[in-house]
Structure 1
């Protein structure tokens, strides 16, 4: 497998293809993939999801991914380096890089906020126009459009944060949430004792501080975030239940089913079947 790099901070490419332009490669940069037309399947890490016209996909550095294209497909690829994300002065967004890396736990289209669909369509149209009709200050305009796409991607990924966390929330809580999301697969690192040691809080103060800032206890946030990821695996991946058990550190399938049924009042299999039927309606 070859490694692909980019020689600039931001690069925009248009592809019309019947075969995967992202194949047998590992990338050292972020990519936003917008599907202008066509359809197929995205395999990313251990997940698989369908894509179609209007899908917005975020690929993070070192993800293992492959596009299986089912028909003639048009793609706009927006590539940007980790250095660009780190060095750009984002006005009100804490830990932009951590936010974007949250996409590695997802698969498929990240557009969850419906009003953003219109915005993204407009930005993509503008980027395509710039590619086809380069003009004075085109590079500056392109950077503005790319920044807007990055912020929209971050906003949609952040929907998986605690509901009451905003850009005005204390940065230490944002850091704690980023830590939780980054270590969600390792139960030992999610213990209150481990988190309190890392951030220099007493266990008692950490609990009250996190709840005051986010509106839910730290344990509730961990469980809710883990549940959303498991739901995503069931709906958008071909992972087996025993693979989900291993990924999230459950002792066995019975333990996972008990955890899941406590929230949804149905088994994992019943949940997947119910959601699948609703999608067909």
Structure 2
């Protein structure tokens, strides 16, 4: 399986294609794809679905993907990684912590093909941002441009809002308060003080003795297990595309050491038998 790498933290390109000549592949960066016109099918991992004008896809790192073009299609590709959001000598703003939080949202997002935006209003906002970013990049060829970074910040925040809405919809809770608690935990996943039982009790007007029971009753999962599994999910995502070692990630996220983190990953993310045998035919044969 070809893995496409880049040394550039950010790039934008527009291509009009009558046929997709690239084999199914993976890459080490995020890629946002906007279909300005055309029809066909998108494949990600072992699923595929039709695409059309106005569709927006997010391709996470190391997911197998490709397109099959039915009618001539104009793509706008925005490729980025964590380095683009770090503070450097050209920038006044440091988006590092914000992007680290975004890793969690993306890692919990259900990575299936299809449009990631279901709100017409958000879709219109995103399209305007994408076109503005593409125009500024093509005109200036300066990915460090403050306007481009600000627009990317806005764009990804809109995506995050849609992922969070999907997260709420896909997590079976029986009332709004439980959904609010899930989202609060998600936002404060590595803030131990805010996730203490007494802090959650105060935040959601519950008895401290009842918080864990309430969470288990509403979600079907223990509070402690949910937080641990969510933290491991973040660590697993960063291992895949942050460029840091497991030791560094374990330290950053509060795990005892790399060995402890490795054990937790094996517990919650057992090896995929298809990946272990190098089986990537499902994505190819679906086209």
Q: TM class by shorter-chain length?
A: 0.5 to 0.7
Cα RMSD (Å): 3.6
Deviations for 1:35-89, whole angstroms, at most 9, x for unmatched residues?
A: 0111110111121111111101011111011101111111111111145569834
SS where residue 109 of structure 1 aligns? coil
Deviation per residue, 1:128-147 (Å, 9 max, x gap): 32244228897222222222
Residue 160 of structure 1 corresponds to 166
Q: Are residues 1:88 and 2:95 paired? A: yes
**1:269: which partner in 2?**
none
2:177 is the alignment partner of 1:171: no
Question: Alpha-carbon deviations, 1:14-55, whole Å to 9, x = none?
Answer: 111112265332101111100011111011112111111110
What secondary structure is seen at the aligned counterpart in 2 of 1:162? helix
TM-score, normalising length: structure 1: 0.57
Change (3 A) 1:13 1:203: farther
- Alignment partners' CA distance in 1, 2:180 and 2:166: 12
Evaluate the alpha carbon distance shift between residue 156 and residue 173 of structure 1 in structure 2; reply closer, same or farther with a 3 A threshold: closer
CA contact (8 A) 2:133 2:148 kept: yes
Q: Is 2:10–2:143's contact at 8 Å kept on the other side of the alignment?
A: no
In structure 1, stretches of 5+ residues that fail to align are 177-201, 221-281
Describe the shift of the 1:74–1:154 C-alpha distance in structure 2 as closer, same or farther (beyond 3 A).
same
> Are residue 116 (structure 1) and residue 117 (structure 2) matched?
no
Q: Name the SS of the counterpart of 2:61 in structure 1.
A: coil
Name which of structure 1's ranges 136-145 and 68-77 shifts more when overlaid on structure 2: 136-145
How many pairs were matched up?
190
Tell me the secondary structure at the aligned position of residue 141 of structure 1: helix
- Distance of aligned partners of 1:81 and 1:138 in 2 relative to their CA distance in 1, 3 Å threshold: closer
How many angstroms apart in 2 are the aligned matches of 1:12 and 1:21? Answer: 19
State the match for 1:107 in structure 2.
113
Give 1:41-56 correspondences, 5 Å limit: 41-56=41-56
CA offset at residue 175 of structure 1?
4.0
The answer to whether the 8 A contact 1:94-1:167 is kept is no
For 1:10 and 1:28, how far apart are their aligned partners in 2?
Answer: 12
- For residue 174 of structure 1, report the CA deviation from its aligned partner: 6.1
Aligned-pair CA distance for 1:104:
4.7
Q: Structure 2 unaligned runs (5+)?
A: 87-93, 170-175, 191-207, 222-287
C-alpha distance in structure 2 between counterparts of 1:39 and 1:129, whole Å: 23
Is the CA contact 1:44–1:64 (under 8 Å) kept in the aligned structure 2?
yes
Aligned CA distance change for structure 1 residues 47 and 6 (closer, same or farther; 3 Å): same
User: Do 1:42 and 1:51's aligned partners in 2 also have CA atoms closer than 8 Å?
Assistant: yes
